[in-house]
Amino acid sequence: MATFSTFTVDKTENGEGRPRSNSKGGGSGGAHTIQRRRDGPPDTKVVEEGSARRNIVRKGGNSEVARHAKTDVVDDGSSVLYGQSPPIEPGDPLYDPYENDENYVLVSADESVTNGPRSPPRHNYDPDHRRMVFGPMLTLSEFKRRVVEALNEYFSSEDAEETIGTIKELGCPEYHYEVVKRAISMAMDRKERERELVSKLLSASSPELLTTDQLGKGFERLFEFIDDLELDTPGATEITAAFLARAVVDEIIPPAFLVDPVVVGLGGDVVAQTKRILSRDHQYSRVERIWGPGDGRPVSELKVAIDQLLVEYLLSKQLSEAERCVREMEVPHFHHELVKRAVAAVLDKPADEQAAMLNLLAHLHKTETVSPAQLEQGFQKLFQKLPDLVLDSPNASRVINSFLAQTKEFCPEAEGWALKANGDRAEAATNGANGTNGHA
């Protein structure tokens, strides 16, 4: 006895349906069922490993559709749910005339196309990785390491433009304030030459590399670590104040920065020292040369720095401060110019200023700041210039002889100096050096 569920509908030739049993005794229908069971389940093929897509190849059996199906088309079963999709006709937005054209190959455009005149460079675009870059390209620690390398190279080459370009290529504008902090902290352990180079770099970097806000943030970061810097570098507070004063004079930081409540709270002694530096007489001309002439400047600028030092000494009469300034020049081979210009500066001055200048020379000799050889060379240059000096200062010969005689009191080596003057007008000075009186 057959149940209702064992019957299926079969089509007759005239299109009428008749029941067909799936049991073994069902005639041709049973043979068809046995054949399908013998064939097994449909095959399953996976296109690539890890893909969720499955291409199922259906067994077509002996149907007319299977015999005439294209062998190169894989049926994924979607036609059962959605039916056969109609072909895309020309004029349809999805129509692609090259879809089945084997001679049509898609390739990637080369750099000459992507970087051509029709494709200008974009902001934050990394051409090496072909992707948009948001934020800094490096970590903060890596950026600091690269900046240290760039600054060390700058101290050797003195090429500010190359250093600015190197830092810009790092692609980390968010970290540019670290350039200020790192450059100044590195200059603290070096000489006046490197400090002057850092001041020039900061001035050249504004505003192309360093904005006003980034410069201010860099100094604020220095204020936060000034106590630690003071332990490693005594005088770090004064050095930082000098850098800040130089930045104000170079007009890369506004003077209003020094009265900002947050800055005053963070800076403390540094801001107070900066205000004192800027409140002196002729502060701008002095701050422009705040690092002294030991920064690699030409001889003409060294002479200007010496003249400024001597003028300041005559106003303050502070021997220790003058000694410190002379040492900071770090030009011991140029001290003879200091001796010559010190004596020449007081040829027409009152006796008290001449005595003060003589005390300075004696102090510099006593502290071994200026060597006897440099003293001798300085007086020798005075005697060589005496014909020109007497034209402007008739008492030049008498004053120089007086300085030379008193120099022998604190410098015994002066007894053996063989000084020679140029010209007949300076003959009296030569006689005076030998112990006779003469006037030009």
Condensed to tens digits (0 to 9), the pLDDT of residues 142-158 reads 999 999 999 999 998 88
Separation of alpha carbons 424 and 192, rounded Å: 44
- Mean pLDDT calculated for residue range 225-250: 92
Provide CATH 1.25.40.180 ranges for the chain.
140-287, 299-433
Q: Which residues of 364-399 are buried (b: 16+ CB within 10 A; e: fewer)?
A: bbeeebbbeebbbbbbbbbbbbbbebbeebeebbbb
Longest alpha-carbon distance in the chain: 158
Say if CB 326 and CB 369 are below 8 A apart. yes
Separation of alpha carbons 117 and 113, rounded Å: 8
Say if residue 15's pLDDT is above 80.
no
Give percent of the chain with pLDDT exceeding 90: 40
pTM over 0.75: no
- Model pLDDT, residue 292: 62
- Mean pLDDT calculated for residue range 404-409: 91
Separation of alpha carbons 121 and 127, rounded Å: 9
Coil, helix or strand at residue 203 = helix
User: How many residues would you count in the chain?
Assistant: 440
Sign of CA dihedral 186, 188, 194, 196: positive
Flag the least confident range among 60-74, 153-167, 335-349, 390-404.
Answer: 60-74
Separation of alpha carbons 344 and 419, rounded Å: 17
**Domain boundaries 299-433, CATH class:** mainly alpha
Q: Which residues of 215-244 are buried (b: 16+ CB within 10 A; e: fewer)?
A: bbbbbbbbbeebeebbeeeeebbebbbbbb
Say if residue 238's pLDDT is above 60.
yes
Contacts for 102 with CB less than 8 Å, ≥ 6 apart: none
Say if residue 258's pLDDT is above 80.
yes
**Domain boundaries 140-287, CATH class:** mainly alpha
Separation of alpha carbons 71 and 76, rounded Å: 13
Closest CA to 209 of 265, 167, 248, 170: 167
